[in-house]
Amino acid sequence: MEERKFKCLKSFTSEGRYCLRDEIYTAYKISHGWKFVFENGEMNFTSNLFERTLEDWNTVIEEVAE
């Protein structure tokens, strides 16, 4: 299963999901896009929306090679 890892640079919430500073979170490739697993739940994105969201969140998360 393809996955991507992201480090939270600054704590934030989105749609009730928590991303805590300095924690690493994983996004898993699913049939229609990506499932991003946060501290207290997950969010599903189409591939296009996932990439656009990463651009919007560029000040609070960064992709890491882990």
Query: Hey, where are the domains in the chain?
Result: 3-64
Residue 66 pLDDT level (bands cut at 50, 70, 90): low
Q: Write the CATH number of the domain with boundaries 3-64.
A: 2.30.30
Tokens 């499932």, residue? 35
Question: Could you read off the pLDDT of 10-55 as tens digits, one per residue?
Answer: 999 999 999 999 999 999 999 999 999 999 999 999 999 999 999 9
Sorted by sequence, the CB contacts under 8 Å of residue 14 that are 6+ apart come out as: 43
Residue 1 pLDDT level (bands cut at 50, 70, 90): confident
DSSP labels for 8-65? ESS-EEETTEEE-TT-EEEEEEETTEEEEEETTEEEEEEHHHHHHHHHHTTTTEEEE-
Sorted by sequence, the CB contacts under 8 Å of residue 51 that are 6+ apart come out as: none
